[in-house]
Copies of this chain bind each other. A is one copy, B any other.
Amino acid sequence: MTNGAQALMKTLVDSGVEVCFTNPGTSEMHFVAALDSEPGMRAVLALFEGVATGAADGYARMADKPAATLLHLGCGMGNGLANLHNARKGKVPVLNIVGDHATYHVKYDAQLQSDIETVARNISPSFVRTSQSTEALCQDAAEAITAARGLPGQVATLILPADVSWGEGGKPCAAPTQPQAPAAEDSAVKAAAEAIKSGKKTALLLGGRALREPALLEAARIAAHNGVTLFAETFPTRIERGAGLPPVERIAYLAELATLQLSEFDHLILVDAKAPVSFFAYPGKQSYLVPDNCTAHTLSTPEQDATASLKKLADTLGASSAQPKLQAPGRPGLPKGKLTAEKVCRAVGELMPENSIIVDEAITSGLMLNAMTAGSPRHDLITLTGGAIGQGMPNAVGAAIACPDRQVYALIGDGTAMYTNQALWTMARENLNVTTIIFNNASYSILNVELERVGAEEAGAKAKSQLDISGPVTNYALLAQSMGVHGTRVTTAEELIKAMEYAKHNPGPHLIEAVVPESLNGVKRKVLPWLLKSLPSLPRPLTKALKKKIAP
């Protein structure tokens, strides 16, 4: 006889779901017991659900197929919610399997009883289902997998009552192959082509799948042939970049800068991207960042094939055989002396091996990362798609499991590092090739800027203490060691380089705590001038626009 959990396990593996990031409890014990029935399933234990969900997110970004999470009732899902939110915003396929009480036990309102579906709807708006019987379980699972890996990908949640899991009579049922996504409609292609040929200043804003190599090449052909500018969305799910790939300028996080970037354009053509909006609202400032005199056109939506859509547009424009402009190779050179955040980014650009995966959650400390790695060997960059911090280290866990032969760098601000520090334990347990670099400036630095931007800068001592995490200063090297990860603390560029070289040549997880001054020290009331000072490291078009706007 096959119980529900065993049939589910076979359904998962037969559907290509081969990794499960787990944090189980009693209601998941039959699922756990069924792990051994399927050699094709790898179970990766996390000590906190936010690690499991963030790992599933990172895995899917690199593997282009969903992993499963195994979560313990509504509270377990709650703990995993922030990183599921990031996956949702990044349109990443994830299959949640959330254990629940046995169906007949629900009415007793036992301690862990909660309304799992309500929690799940927040991150799985289109597929939340509580499986009602062992017989129906695998069909439910197949539909959940189909929902998760649709175009666009999404977070699907299958709630698994304990008795459905332990009941006999499970019937495995693999999810069907996904149909091919369509290219953009003719009318959308025509409108985009007309905008481009109008002679007005036009930019393509690329997001989602349009930031992978095949789509980037099509977009770069159009750029070369028709003189349009290429932008990438602010927080890409995954962008392929570096030497030999088309360079694309990212829209800035700060609305003030994004507005400058977009100010000269008459047409903005959206390719698997939404029109840019401000991350937060600020008193007296616009939320919608497309300039009043600029028209936004949608070439293709996330439901469509970005590469095929761009190809169709290139064909229409006669750009198909144009030579795309590719990034020339070029490392930024090694840094020297006392460490700063910029020097850390420089060292990453200089030292990272080809095919690295960079997970960027460095917040203010990572401001120079794009510039410093622009000409480095090709690599993938993963960013904070949903703004819920605590994504970086878990994403790195998943990326390393999806791509065991590649070097993963997790670049993490100290404000964000603590949320899911348990990821270090899983890195050690699975001996993952992740080098985590913590930028320790002992501050929620971004919030000092935000305090000014929202107009609340006249802060007193109590308010300021809320942004100051220097008492005590966390020792991240010790933190790593406590969980079995090799940890080092560095204060000079030379020490950093030595630690990075050591990590490169000694497989397995490493954590390098880079003690840096706050990048934005003294920025108050001077955000734009400070950025101007940093201009040599910023992308050129932005430099130009900024200089025009604010240079003395």
Closest chain-B Cβ to A392's Cβ sits at a distance in Å of 14
Tell whether, in the assembled complex, residue B387 and residue A112 are in contact, meaning their CB atoms are under 8 Å apart.
yes
By beta carbon, the residue of chain B nearest A414 is: B47
Tell whether, in the assembled complex, residue A85 and residue B79 are in contact, meaning their CB atoms are under 8 Å apart.
no
Q: Could you say which of B24, B122, B163, B477 contacts A114, with CB atoms under 8 Å apart?
A: B122
Interface 9-mer from A144-152, A317-325, A421-429, A541-549: A421-429
Per-residue interface assignment for chain A, residues 463 to 503, with 1 indicating a CB less than 8 Å from any chain B CB and 0 otherwise:
10111010111111111011110000000000000000000
| A196 interfacial by beta-carbon distance below 8 Å | no
Closest chain-B Cβ to A89's Cβ sits at a distance in Å of 6
Interface 9-mer from A169-177, A261-269, A348-356, A453-461: A453-461
| A528 interfacial by beta-carbon distance below 8 Å | no
Chain B residues near A50 (CB-CB < 8 A): 79
Chain B residues near A82 (CB-CB < 8 A): 75-76, 78-79
Tell whether, in the assembled complex, residue B419 and residue A43 are in contact, meaning their CB atoms are under 8 Å apart.
no
Complex CA gap A477/B281 in Å reads 43
Interface size (A, Cβ < 8 Å)?
A: 100
Chain B residues near A280 (CB-CB < 8 A): 26-27, 101-102, 105, 110, 112, 162
Chain B residues near A462 (CB-CB < 8 A): 35-36, 41, 43
Complex CA gap A283/B162 in Å reads 9
Q: Could you say which of B81, B422, B450, B467 contacts A78, with CB atoms under 8 Å apart?
A: B81
Q: Could you say which of B76, B279, B447 contacts A29, with CB atoms under 8 Å apart?
A: B447
| A370 interfacial by beta-carbon distance below 8 Å | no
| A25 interfacial by beta-carbon distance below 8 Å | yes
| A58 interfacial by beta-carbon distance below 8 Å | no
| A127 interfacial by beta-carbon distance below 8 Å | no
Q: Which of A82, A112, A123, A469 has the most CB of B within 10 A?
A: A82
By beta carbon, the residue of chain B nearest A417 is: B47
* CB proximity to B under 8 Å, residues A307-343: none
Tell whether, in the assembled complex, residue B45 and residue A108 are in contact, meaning their CB atoms are under 8 Å apart.
no
| A74 interfacial by beta-carbon distance below 8 Å | yes
Tell whether, in the assembled complex, residue A47 and residue B469 are in contact, meaning their CB atoms are under 8 Å apart.
yes
Contacts A29-B450, A465-B45, A466-B22 given: A110-B35 contact, CB under 8 Å? no
Closest chain-B Cβ to A373's Cβ sits at a distance in Å of 23
| A409 interfacial by beta-carbon distance below 8 Å | no
Contacts A47-B469, A456-B32 given: A278-B461 contact, CB under 8 Å? no
Tell whether, in the assembled complex, residue A122 and residue B118 are in contact, meaning their CB atoms are under 8 Å apart.
yes
Per-residue interface assignment for chain A, residues 85 to 100, with 1 indicating a CB less than 8 Å from any chain B CB and 0 otherwise:
1000100000000000
Tell whether, in the assembled complex, residue B29 and residue A456 are in contact, meaning their CB atoms are under 8 Å apart.
yes
Tell whether, in the assembled complex, residue B472 and residue A425 are in contact, meaning their CB atoms are under 8 Å apart.
yes
| A277 interfacial by beta-carbon distance below 8 Å | yes
User: Residues of A with Cβ closer than 8 Å to B?
Assistant: 22, 24-27, 29-30, 32-36, 41, 43, 45, 47-48, 50, 74-76, 78-79, 81-82, 85, 89, 101-102, 104-105, 108-112, 114-115, 118-119, 121-123, 162-163, 166, 235, 274, 277-281, 283, 287-288, 384-388, 390, 418-419, 421-422, 425, 428-429, 446-447, 450-451, 453-456, 458-463, 465-467, 469, 471-479, 481-484
